[in-house]
Amino acid sequence: MRKYNKLIFELSKPGRKAYKLPPLDVEDKDISEFFPEDFINENPLTLPEVNEVEVIRHYTNLSDKNFGLDTGFYPLGSCTMKYNPKINENTARLDGFANIHPRQREGCTQGALQLMYELQNSLAEVAGMDQMTLQPAAGAHGELAGIMVIKAYHEKNGDTKRDTIIVPDSAHGTNPATATMAGYKIVEVKSTENGRVDVEALRNLVGENTAGLMLTNPNTLGLFESDIKEIAKIVHDAGGQLYYDGANANAILGQARPGDMGFDVVHFNIHKTFSTPHGGGGPGSGPVGVKAHLTEFLPVPIVGKEGDRYFLDYNIENTIGKVKDFYGHFGILVRAYTYILTMGRDGLKKASEMAVLNANYMLSKLKDDYYLPIDALYKHEFVLSGLKGNSLEVTTLDIAKRLLDFGFHPPTVYFPLIINQAMMIEPTETESLETLDEFIDALLKIAKEAKEDVSILKTAPHDTLVRRPDETKAARSPVVTYKA
Amino acid sequence: MFPYIPHTPEDEKIMLDSIGVNSVDDLFADIPKDVAFNKELDLPLAKSELEVTNYLNKLANKNCSTTENVCFLGAGAYDHYIPAIIDHIISRSEFYTSYTPYQPEISQGTLQYIFEYQTLISELTGLPIANASLYDGGTAVAEAALMACDVARKKKILISETVSPQSRQVLKTYAHMQDIEVVEVAMKDGITDMEDLEGKMDDDVATVIVQSPNFFGVVEDLKSSADLVHKSKKASIIASVDPISLGILKRPGDLGVDIVVGEGQSLGMSLSFGGPYLGFLATTEKYLRKLPGRIVGETTDLDGKRSFVLTLTAREQHIRRDKATSNICSNQGLNTLVATVYMVTLGKEGLREVAMQSTKKAHYALEKLEQSGKYKRVFDKPFFKEFAVSSNIDADKIIKDLRSENIIAGHHLGIDYPEFKDSILYAVTEKRTKDEIDKLSSVLEGI
């Protein structure tokens, strides 16, 4: 890793170029013939002037300052950092997929529509739902579309007093944020000591103001909500709808389906469960599935089929409308369908089995040295609560930063909020026994360091290009653009 | 064995022994029997890379691509030239296989390009602050409007009928959820009707949304709109813009616009049947702590080195939960890198040249089409790279006849605007050649 420390603006030199266009081949008129004078910007934009070689070197050097899944183990809990297959990148770039315009006539896009139709049905089968829409752009966007569908359902029933969404205290931040954005009040249902939804507390919370419950299963602790049937009954009896946050769906492929558990709406995070790249924070994709009684509210369009012809179906009776431009993140959907075809029903099931095996194996090796607040059978991830017997001298942040020195991406830290000093570890199925053992060894070495020499942890990381950048300073006096 | 799953039977045995269970099935014992799925999923079995590739090639080949056909279709997504280096840079797996940069020590690459992106968008729009992206142009309009309502503490939005129908639909979906009223401002001769806007401005209006170039390709008078809106107390103006047009047109920030949003697909993203694209948002300092989405800030590390971090996170869902300014989490990550590399590669001269060539070729095309006498411009107004022409020939017939000559026709305006059922909106980018435009003209003349 070179110690490269330039911004692209600092490379700029007047007169340099990184592009060449063909010469203009139509009559060269002055643009003052096209626009009134006061529409035209007479001052040139201050964009960089750089050469192509510089652009490539600059961004290659920046990439060198990044840690990707292809660099090493990335056990971020709730993020499902599984391997991103390379064939997916190739298929998304096929000319007939990458270079088609969304407004072309259906006769020109039958292959794209067929892919979307087959993906809709495949995801519906995995989810146990009746109809999917591929439109939402990300997991949180899927949540928003799904909650809007629930709201439209209550509105149609004239059930307007239902103004509250219930979320567990262990829920992802997107759940309450989504419900607020959809115009709902939020009530939290607490978890029991064994990390599951407190069923009795839920029973007391629901009522005629309950619009629905948002739940992740397995939940954010990595535990299966085994009372799910009872939870569904409580919510449904109160007149509410049950929303499945698919962030943790990688644990249950072919093992259990949200539709069979009693959920009415579900979203998948395609960039988690179905192997598409996280891209440094997107683009993702968040398809939403619903049970039959909610299909009339889905956003338009979905892909339909009539005889041999695929078409964009805008004819959804009580649709919530559109939640984004066009039909979804098609390029991401091509990758996801490539993955589903590659894995098949047997591979998807095996993926969940090995994800769960990996998590429980790591746990078995770590629980003597790290505090495990809930000793149970876990699914694809588990949550530790810092070092055992440590009176908080060494924090989870110290452990995370020290892991960087060992060449690993740290787990998700300080989430879920209900666990003190949380370290949420999700290995995924694509990691080998050897990789897991290396990571386990690093964590055990850190546990040893905590007993012998705390300072090495307190001053970590030591081997990274930058060390603990000052976040308080960044927020207190924000510098969000480059000033020459 | 599956290519992406490394476990041998021996590995599985070692791991099961360590856990203290006999079989993998035992690991799913916590799923109650009445919930467990005891069948096989109704999906095909696993396939080899060759089989998958063959099948997907077959599907891809059923589509008509813009490389095998000449594209004059726009209406929100454009066939601009994409420099080859973009795909090489975004294919660095250190970029595309990384997660959101929550650990700054090993994410400086992502954080720095987002910082560069924010700077470039700020320069392009003429406003000091930009976020790290929203999903697309339509959701950017909606998020900006919700932010403006939140800051103004009002619940009424005016939006011009000349704004993209999709953006208006997305806005209405979002606004409905928060009981925010959306009122459309009429259009006149292809631009926002200023009299209607003035008449609809009242103390309840939080924000006014316009688009320029608007859905018809016509350049709107942003300055006059901004001045009119700002006469009203606490009302703001949002403009949705085509970033390429800013290579020659005045920057909205310099014209008094408060919030600039737009679809960033033109900045180097492939058409990809509608996504993933990029929503950008730039604004004034006033909105800094109310912005939706991520923001990267510059700081220093323990050793005093310049470094970058996600900042002002107290706006975001993972910190503020139900009090967050938006629920957005994953945004367009890698596509902000596409836009960054595009703007850097084209640079100061290039963006201007792309804009110049697009507008000159579009004006040439309109002139050619009108020469036949069969087609006439619908709006006699300044336009950028897109224009509408009407004729007494059925629009579907035109589109079909062009198709048989391997030309992807423009967008039929009648789909969203019944009053323009005889009109087609053509987009002409710098990629189109004189020969292609002449061919379009001669085929159209022959219909």
- DSSP H/E element including A396: helix A396-405
* A195 occurs within a structural domain: yes
- DSSP H/E element including A62: helix A52-63
* B12 occurs within a structural domain: no
Q: Are residues B195 and B312 in the same domain?
A: yes
Query: By the 8 A CB rule, do B287 and B326 touch?
Result: no
Q: Which of B82, B241, B217, B256 is nearest to B167 (CA)?
A: B241
A75 preceded by a cis bond (ω within 30 of 0): no
* A191 occurs within a structural domain: yes
Cβ-defined contact of B24 to A353 (cutoff 8 Å):
yes
Q: Are residues B145 and B284 in the same domain?
A: yes
In angstroms, the CA B282 to CA A1 distance is: 34
Chain B nearest CA to A369, separation (Å)? 15
Q: Which of B278, B313, B279 is nearest to B104 (CA)?
A: B313
* A171 occurs within a structural domain: yes
Q: Which residue on chain A is closest to B288 by alpha carbon?
A: A478
* B219 occurs within a structural domain: yes
Query: By the 8 A CB rule, do A111 and B60 touch?
Result: yes
Cβ-defined contact of B322 to A186 (cutoff 8 Å):
yes
Query: By the 8 A CB rule, do A83 and A33 touch?
Result: no
Q: Which residue on chain B is closest to A41 by alpha carbon?
A: B250
The phi-psi region of residue B256 (left if phi > 0; otherwise alpha if psi is between -120 and 50; otherwise beta) is: left
| Token representation of residue A202 | 């839920």
The phi-psi region of residue A224 (left if phi > 0; otherwise alpha if psi is between -120 and 50; otherwise beta) is: beta
Q: Are residues B400 and B437 in the same domain?
A: yes
Cβ-defined contact of B118 to A481 (cutoff 8 Å):
yes
* B284 occurs within a structural domain: yes
In angstroms, the CA B186 to CA A173 distance is: 40
Q: Which of A70, A177, A332 sits opposite B327 (nearest CB)?
A: A177
Q: Count CB-CB contacts under 10 A for residue A462.
A: 11
Q: Are residues B181 and B211 in the same domain?
A: yes
Across A55-79, average pLDDT:
97
Q: Are residues A257 and A191 in the same domain?
A: yes
Instruction: Please give the torsion angle defined by the CA atoms of residues B334, B336, B338 and B343, in that order, rounded to the nearest 10 degrees.
Output: -160
In angstroms, the CA B223 to CA B250 distance is: 10
Q: Count CB-CB contacts under 10 A for residue A456.
A: 15
- DSSP H/E element including B320: helix B317-320
Strands A210-216 and A241-246: parallel
Q: Are residues A113 and A201 in the same domain?
A: yes
**Dihedrals phi, psi of B411, to nearest 5 degrees:** -90, 130
Cβ-defined contact of B46 to A365 (cutoff 8 Å):
no
Give helix then strand counts, H and E, for chain A. Answer: 15, 12
In angstroms, the CA B39 to CA B58 distance is: 31
Separation of CA A150 from chain center:
22
ipTM of the prediction: 0.98
* B367 occurs within a structural domain: yes
Q: Tell me: the pLDDT tens digits for B391-406? A: 999 999 999 999 999 9
Cite the beta strand spans of A361-451 per DSSP E: 382-385, 412-413, 422-425
Cβ-Cβ contacts under 8 Å, B20 against chain A: 364
* C-alpha distance across the termini of chain B, in Å: 59
* B31 occurs within a structural domain: no
Interface size A-B, in CB pairs within 8 Å, comes to 670
Residues near B350 by beta carbon (within 8 Å), at least 6 away in sequence = A17, A18, A19, A21
Question: What is the total count of domains within chain A?
Answer: 2
Q: Label residue A452 exposed, middle or buried (CB < 10 Å: 0-12, 13-18, 19+).
A: exposed
Cβ-defined contact of A100 to B273 (cutoff 8 Å):
yes
Residues near B14 by beta carbon (within 8 Å), at least 6 away in sequence = A433
Give the model's confidence band at A387: pLDDT under 50 very low, under 70 low, under 90 confident, else very high: very high
Cβ-defined contact of B272 to A400 (cutoff 8 Å):
no
Sign of the alpha-carbon torsion through A397, A402, A404, A410: negative
Q: Are residues A164 and A284 in the same domain?
A: yes
Q: Which of A98, A128, A356 sits opposite B272 (nearest CB)?
A: A98
CATH of the domain at B332: 3.40.640.10
Q: Are residues B386 and B283 in the same domain?
A: no
Last residue of a domain, one of B341, B367, B383: B341
Separation of CA B374 from chain center:
34
Give the model's confidence band at B323: pLDDT under 50 very low, under 70 low, under 90 confident, else very high: confident
Cβ-Cβ contacts under 8 Å, B292 against chain A: none
Q: Which of A183, A271, A330 sits opposite B179 (nearest CB)?
A: A183
Q: In 3-state terms, what secondary structure has residue B122?
A: helix
In angstroms, the CA B19 to CA B22 distance is: 9
Q: Are residues A93 and A185 in the same domain?
A: yes
Share of chain A above pLDDT 70, in %: 99
Q: Which residue on chain B is closest to A15 by alpha carbon?
A: B349
Last residue of a domain, one of A63, A78, A97: A63
What per-residue confidence (pLDDT) applies to B317? 86
| Token representation of residue A268 | 């998948």
* A407 occurs within a structural domain: no
| Token representation of residue B246 | 């800013």
CATH of the domain at A164: 3.40.640.10
Cα–Cα distances in angstroms (integers) from residue A226 to residues A197, B33, B36, B370, in the given order: 10, 10, 10, 70
For residue B117, give its domain range.
Answer: 84-341
| Token representation of residue B46 | 């696993």
Q: Are residues B387 and B263 in the same domain?
A: no
Last residue of a domain, one of B311, B341, B371: B341
Q: Are residues B260 and B365 in the same domain?
A: no
Q: Count CB-CB contacts under 10 A for residue B404.
A: 8
Cβ-defined contact of A17 to B434 (cutoff 8 Å):
no
Cα–Cα distances in angstroms (integers) from residue A178 to residues A172, B262, B323, in the given order: 10, 23, 10
Share of chain B above pLDDT 70, in %: 100
Last residue of a domain, one of A342, A365, A390: A342
What type of residue is B85? I
Q: Are residues A43 and A110 in the same domain?
A: no
Across B303-326, average pLDDT:
91
Q: Which of B403, B419, B174 is nearest to B292 (CA)?
A: B174
Last residue of a domain, one of B341, B371, B401: B341
Q: Label residue A437 exposed, middle or buried (CB < 10 Å: 0-12, 13-18, 19+).
A: middle
Query: By the 8 A CB rule, do B86 and B338 touch?
Result: yes
Across B192-196, average pLDDT:
98
A218 preceded by a cis bond (ω within 30 of 0): yes
Q: Tell me: the pLDDT tens digits for B159-191? A: 999 999 999 999 999 999 999 999 999 999 999
Q: Are residues A201 and A330 in the same domain?
A: yes
Indicate the length of chain A as a whole number: 484
Q: Which of A208, A244, A356 is nearest to B12 (CA)?
A: A356
The interaxial angle of helices B49-61 and A330-366, nearest 10 deg, is 150
Average predicted confidence (pLDDT) for chain B? 97
Cβ-Cβ contacts under 8 Å, B251 against chain A: 41
The phi-psi region of residue A458 (left if phi > 0; otherwise alpha if psi is between -120 and 50; otherwise beta) is: alpha
Q: Are residues A55 and A146 in the same domain?
A: no
Q: Are residues B225 and B337 in the same domain?
A: yes
- Residue A1, pLDDT > 70, answer no
Cβ-defined contact of B98 to A330 (cutoff 8 Å):
no
Q: Are residues A101 and A14 in the same domain?
A: no
Cβ-defined contact of B318 to A322 (cutoff 8 Å):
no
What per-residue confidence (pLDDT) applies to B308? 98
Q: Which residues does residue A306 pair with via DSSP β-bridges, in sequence order? A: A309
* B210 occurs within a structural domain: yes
Chain B nearest CA to A36, separation (Å)? 8
In angstroms, the CA B251 to CA A40 distance is: 9
Question: What is the total count of domains within chain B?
Answer: 2
Q: Which of A418, A429, A270 is nearest to A360 (CA)?
A: A429
Q: Which residues does residue A268 pair with via DSSP β-bridges, in sequence order? A: A246
- DSSP H/E element including A366: helix A330-366
Query: By the 8 A CB rule, do B243 and B264 touch?
Result: yes
Q: Are residues A183 and A144 in the same domain?
A: yes
| Token representation of residue B432 | 């189109």
Separation of CA A154 from chain center:
28
Q: Is B33 on the interface with A (CB under 8 A)?
A: no
Q: Which residue on chain B is closest to A297 by alpha carbon?
A: B173
- Residue A73, pLDDT > 60, answer yes
Q: Which of A341, A126, A428, A108 is nearest to B62 (CA)?
A: A108
For residue A289, give its domain range.
Answer: 87-342
Give the model's confidence band at B233: pLDDT under 50 very low, under 70 low, under 90 confident, else very high: confident
* B62 occurs within a structural domain: no
B292 preceded by a cis bond (ω within 30 of 0): no
What type of residue is B396? D
Q: Are residues A198 and A318 in the same domain?
A: yes
Q: Are residues B301 and B441 in the same domain?
A: no
**Which residues 183-202 of A have a C-beta within 8 angstroms of B?**
183, 186
Q: Are residues B101 and B178 in the same domain?
A: yes
| Token representation of residue A354 | 């090995």
Q: Tell me: the pLDDT tens digits for A4-15? A: 999 999 999 999
Q: Are residues A24 and A107 in the same domain?
A: no
Q: Are residues A59 and A114 in the same domain?
A: no
- Residue B252, pLDDT > 80, answer yes
Query: By the 8 A CB rule, do B377 and B366 touch?
Result: yes
Q: Count CB-CB contacts under 10 A for residue B406.
A: 12
Cβ-defined contact of A478 to B273 (cutoff 8 Å):
no
What per-residue confidence (pLDDT) applies to A2? 63
Last residue of a domain, one of A317, A342, A367: A342
